[in-house]
Amino acid sequence: MIEILTTGQLNTIQDLGRPGYLAFGISHSGAMDRPALEVANLLLGNDRMAAGIEVAYFPFRARFNVNCNVAVTGVDCQVLIGDRIYPSWWAVHIQQGQTIILNRPRSGARAYLAFAGGIDVPLLMGSRATDVKSGFGGLKGAGLTRGDRLNLMPGNKILLPEGGLGVKWAGQAENPGEPPITIRVLPAAEFDDFTPESKHAFTTEIWIITANANRMGYHLNGSVLALAKPLELHSHGIVAGTVQVPRSGQPIIQLADANTCGGYPKIATVIDADLYKLAQASATTPLRFSIASTDEAVNAILMRRNAMTKLQIDLRLHLGY
Amino acid sequence: MQKTAIRISQSGSGALLLDAAVGAFSDDVQHHLWEMDDRIRDVPGVIETALGMNNVLVIHDPLLINAVELERILRSLWLRAQAKRIAGTIHTLAVFYGGDRGEDLLAWAEHCRMTVQEVVQRHTSGIYTVAAIGGMPGFPYLSGLDPALAWPRRAIPKSGVMEGSVIIGAGQASVMPITAPSGWHILGHTNTGLFDPSKDPPALLQVGDTVRFAIAAVVI
């Protein structure tokens, strides 16, 4: 059992999400930075759907009443266990009675704390992810609060090297990337309904992530984007990464917990492979949109999957699970 | 039905949006999409679909089926689509109109230039069809609202519109399945729950079901 000592409501139990229920109006939810959670689970020999904690509020502290392997990925931050300091993107064994502290990140916005076996909360529609907006999943459908106790599922008892084990991951090299970060997009249904000036501004200017940025979506600040003529759209399904432009002309990027349907014009969609960059960008971060080709977007998915498979094979050989 | 031109656009790396709308919402177009939706789900490489209002979002694995190939299949499915009749369940929801939980009732009647009795009577005499479920968990898009009762949405959405709120937005009617922000107007409330995540299926209403509203009380 793990007891939460210091947290914020922004910290939630997440896995890879709840696909398959869009037809019931249910968001995919799940880790905002999916590859980071996947890597954390791989380091522990976990099932890929194992649930961990998405930490977006720091410092985060928890006490362990069990012996257990843990992994921290996502951000670049200092991890304190007892009197020892570890980096992130690292797996280590924790003794019963010890406390883990995740300090404010040097870069990045969301850490993933995974446990051998994963967190034992009920599966709801195939997932343990918390959907805070709708109030279900995770622990009582809400963010973690001080005093919450989490049970773990039985896990792989991997013997980690003394001092733990780190991993290099492509995403991690980009995390501290010099701002503005570049977000690749594909044009969406209404791209050509915007004025030429607006299309130009969208793809060349700098956009700032405002303080109104959470798991539902990020509101951006920049030039005012305008349609060439007014449009009335019927409600339609949207995906995480959809860049909508409401009447204010200021784009909103819809993310993991967004409503499953929208009605605003869509100028573009962030490609899957770049969603993690947004997950790791906090308010005030400047970003730039660059139009990608479909081939580039699909190749990026293929490269990500291949890299994940290679990492899994390497870790299996190394750790013998 | 004369098959109208559809627009297919990309929604990122792994989704296509098929838009069959021609102006105002059409029940006929929607019935064709209901039938087509079943067939789309059978296409290898398609992961799931989300039916909208005269449109459908198709999520696919681009490594199993690419966007060009999927678009070709969708166009051919549309040409062959038939109107689907669904013998859905009939639900009668008892509504408490007005009061604290129906704050827009009077303004709605005023907007429609009718008495409260008239708007309530017209709202309860309508036969509504669940055209699609989406947006938020279990949220029904109901077609069949008397056009005389239509009312454009609020300019600014209201936060925390309570579960069970009976609402209208532009030409559509609905009921809030969970407490959430909404730009629709609140006419009253029902105690019938529309969404339960522990149930299978989690939503009470299904596409093709019929909904009727009955007066439980009117508070002015």
pLDDT digits (tens, 9 = 90+) for A239-248: 999 999 998 9
pLDDT in tens, A272-311: 999 999 999 999 999 999 999 999 999 999 999 999 999 9
Q: From chain A, which residues contact B within 8 Å (Cβ)? A: 19-26, 124-125, 133-137, 186-189, 234-239, 241-242, 259-262, 266, 269-273, 294, 297-298, 300-302, 305
Length of chain A: 321
**Does residue B39 sit in the same domain as residue B134?**
no
Which of B50, B55, B63 is the closest to A23 by Cβ?
B50
The helix/strand/coil state of B192 is coil
In-domain check, residue B1: no
Over residues A126-147, mean pLDDT: 97
- The size of the A-B interface in CB pairs under 8 A is 147
Q: What percent of chain B has pLDDT over 70?
A: 100
* Mean pLDDT, chain B, whole residue set: 96
Residues B134 and B154 in one domain: yes
Segment A10-46, tens digit of pLDDT = 999 999 999 999 999 999 999 999 999 999 999 999 9
Nearest to A24 among B15, B141, B201 (CB): B201
CATH number at residue B72: 3.30.1360.40
- At B3 the pLDDT is 82
Domain assignment present for residue B24? The answer is yes
Q: Do B134 and A270 touch (CB under 8 A)?
A: no
Give pLDDT, residue B168. 96
Per-residue pLDDT at A172: 59
Find the mean pLDDT for residues A118-144: 97
Residues of chain B contacting A133 with CB distance shorter than 8 Å:
136, 180
Question: Are residues B112 and B42 located together in one domain of the fold?
Answer: no
CB contact (8 A) between residue B202 and residue A261: no
Q: Are residues B156 and B58 in the same domain?
A: no
Q: Do A273 and B13 touch (CB under 8 A)?
A: yes
User: Residue B1 pLDDT > 80, yes or no?
Assistant: no
Last residue of a domain, one of B52, B80, B108: B80
Q: Is the pLDDT of residue A212 over 60?
A: yes
Mutate to test the interface with A, among B7, B13, B46 (most CBs of A within 10 A): B13
Residues B57 and B19 in one domain: yes
Would the CB atoms of B25 and A189 count as touching at under 8 Å?
Answer: no
Which of B59, B80, B101 is the C-terminal boundary of a domain? B80
Whether B38 maps to a domain, the answer reads yes
Considering the domain boundaries, does residue B85 fall inside one? no
Is residue B2 situated within a structural domain? no
pLDDT of residue A173 exceeding 60: no
Contact yes or no for A23 and B133 at CB 8 A: yes
Which residues from A are below 8 Å from B54, CB to CB?
Answer: 234
Q: Is the pLDDT of residue A174 over 60?
A: no
Q: Which domain holds residue B157?
A: 90-219
For residue range B166-176, list pLDDT tens digits in order. Answer: 999 988 999 99
With CA atoms as reference, the chain A residue closest to B68 would be A294
Residues B70 and B175 both lie in one domain: no
Last residue of a domain, one of B29, B56, B80: B80
Mean pLDDT of the A172-188 span: 79
Residue A176: its pLDDT value, please? 47
Same domain assignment for residues B45 and B127: no
Q: What is the pLDDT of residue A170?
A: 67
Looking at beta carbons, which residues of chain B come within 8 Å of A28?
none
**Residue B112 within any structural domain of the chain:** yes
Q: In which element (H, E) is residue B175 found?
A: strand B172-175
pLDDT category at A115 given cuts 50, 70, 90 is: very high
Is the pLDDT at B54 greater than 90, yes or no? yes
Q: Are residues B122 and B203 in the same domain?
A: yes
Q: B-chain residues within 8 Å CB-CB of A134? A: 136-137, 178, 180, 197
Does residue A161 surpass a pLDDT of 60?
yes
Q: How many domains does chain B have?
A: 2
**pLDDT at residue A171 above 70?**
no
Contact across the interface for A242 and B12, Cβ inside 8 Å: yes
Of A235, A272, A305, the CB nearest to B52: A235
Cβ burial B102-141 (10 Å sphere, 16+ → b, else e): bbbbeebbeebebebeebbeebeebebbbbbbbbbbbbbb
Specify whether B56 is located in the same domain as B21: yes
- Determine the residue among A236, A243, A252 to mutate to test chain B binding: the one whose Cβ has the most chain B Cβ atoms within 10 Å: A236
Does the residue B140 lie in any domain?
yes
| A79 pLDDT higher than 70 | yes
Indicate whether B137 belongs to any domain. Answer: yes
| B66 and B105 share one domain | no
Nearest-CB residue to A237 (from B21, B57, B63): B57
Mean pLDDT over residues A211-223, rounded? 97
Judge contact between B173 and B159, C-beta under 8 A.
no
Q: Which residues of A touch B11 (CB under 8 A)?
A: 188-189, 237-239, 242, 266, 269
User: For residue A168, what pLDDT band results from cuts at 50, 70 and 90?
Assistant: confident
Nearest-by-CA chain A residue for B20: A234
Residue B136: HSE in the Cβ half-sphere, 13 Å Cα cutoff = 22
CATH code, domain with B203: 2.40.100.10
Q: How confident is the model at residue A177 (pLDDT cuts 50, 70, 90)?
A: low
**Which pair of structure tokens corresponds to residue A268?**
């573009």
pLDDT tier, B100 (very low <50, low <70, confident <90, very high otherwise): very high
Interface ipTM > 0.90: yes
- Nearest by CB to residue B137, choosing from A25, A235, A239, is A25
Confidence grade of residue A157 (pLDDT, cut at 50, 70, 90): confident
Q: Does the pLDDT at position A105 exceed 80?
A: yes
Give the gap in angstroms from C-alpha A319 to the nearest C-alpha of chain B.
30
Could you tell me if B36 and B54 lie in one domain? yes
Q: Say if residue B75 is in the same domain as residue B96.
A: no
